[in-house]
Amino acid sequence: MAGISRPRYRDIETGAAAARATTLMNVARALGLEMMLIPQFLVPAVNTLLNPEAGEDAPAFIPQPEPDDER
């Protein structure tokens, strides 16, 4: 259903081979899922939205420290 061979799927699943993003999208869709790329700074907000126990008072964003310009 994903358009790849069983041996290729097995190799991806076991970590013996890497998969292209399009291959991962095809596998996800074959499983009835959808892939989404989320910028790292939005991950806390998405996790909050996905956590029903957090309630409406949970912060949508967690302040991230500014990158240190002095290296």
Place of tokens 């909050």: 48
**pLDDT of amino acid 60:** 60
42 with 27, same domain: the answer is: no
pTM of the model: 0.53
In the chain, % of residues over pLDDT 70: 73
Taking residues 43-65, report their average pLDDT. Answer: 71
4 with 31, same domain: the answer is: yes
Mean pLDDT for the chain overall: 81
* CB contact set of 49 (below 8 Å; sequence gap of 6+): 60
Q: Which domain holds residue 54?
A: 37-66
CA separation (Å) from 41 to 15, 29, 47, 53? Answer: 27, 26, 11, 21
Give, as one character, the DSSP assignment of residue 65. P
Query: Is residue 70 scored above 70 in pLDDT?
Result: no
Number of domains the chain contains: 2
15-33: pLDDT as tens digits: 999 988 888 888 899 999 9
